[in-house]
Structure 1
């Protein structure tokens, strides 16, 4: 496979009949769901679980999605969903990139970027990342920066 970045975290998706829309391909909501599932699987793989988020009263809330739908997925196709943490300021923000490749022909179906801000789960307000987040997400990032991330 040709990944846009090295060393992706991979999550497998097999498109189910329930995810097919009136055009007979995977609905865009199914793709967004896979972005979320892949993000959570990667966080868990890195050592951060929802239980830890809750115990720390912190979460990473999405502030922006940019999704490029490049080709359609169909029922029963197997898709490799890749993600990378591409930026982390170790304070408040991080960003992920995604690439979904269909196994049968190695075609890239989707590329995406999601930007997150750390929040207090109890209030929903932005809060500094706890040390546990910075210690895990920071080293996993492709780009380390103490400068503000370039969010448009």
Structure 2
């Protein structure tokens, strides 16, 4: 955390989602389960693109969606029941045709600790055939406008 108490984000201006770790989110080790982290990444991704205008209605009208092709997560610290977390995300790449990438940072504001960093890659698919398909113009416009320069990219503390 910075001196003024603000979160020290890896990239500027993240789209964020507040999280309160529930008892059901934890595993036998007593901390948030790895599967729960993946769920949080998916939830913030959908919320982010919807906020940019890439709503499910647009997906259905165009017959296209961005499907995850790869996710890489670095778990840097444990989240426990009751922890308040903030998950930030950025669209960090788009090739203008088919593929996009996204970066994530999960922070516990109480101590400023980054608990996880992740990156994911996506490919546009036809909703009917589930096969790769060129992104429609509406997707291209939204994704291109949202790309944040990755800078140093994924950091591991």
In the TM superposition, structure 1's runs of 4+ consecutive aligned residues that sit over 6 Å from their partners are: none
Normalising by structure 2, report the TM-score.
0.89
Q: Distance in 2 between matches of 1:90 and 1:41?
A: 22
Q: Which residue of 2 aligns with 1:80?
A: 86
Q: Which residue of 2 aligns with 1:140?
A: 146
Matched, 1:26 2:35: no
**Residues 80-133 of structure 1 deviation map (CA, whole Å, 9 limit, x = unaligned):** 000000001120000000000012111000000000000001001100000000
Normalising by structure 1, report the TM-score.
0.92
| 1:76 to partner: Cα distance | 1.1
**Residues 12-42 of structure 1 deviation map (CA, whole Å, 9 limit, x = unaligned):** 1111111011000000011000000000010
Q: Distance in 2 between matches of 1:27 and 1:142?
A: 29
Query: Does the residue aligned with 2:120 lie in a helix, a strand or coil?
Result: strand
Q: Unpaired segments of 5 or more residues in structure 1?
A: 144-152
Matched, 1:47 2:53: yes
- Mapping of 1:90-129 within 5 angstroms? 90-129=96-135
Aligned residues: 143
| 1:10 to partner: Cα distance | 0.5
Q: Unpaired segments of 5 or more residues in structure 2?
A: 1-6, 150-157
Q: Which residue of 1 aligns with 2:77?
A: 71
Q: Distance in 1 between matches of 2:147 and 2:33?
A: 30
> What do you get for the CA RMSD once the two structures are aligned?
0.7
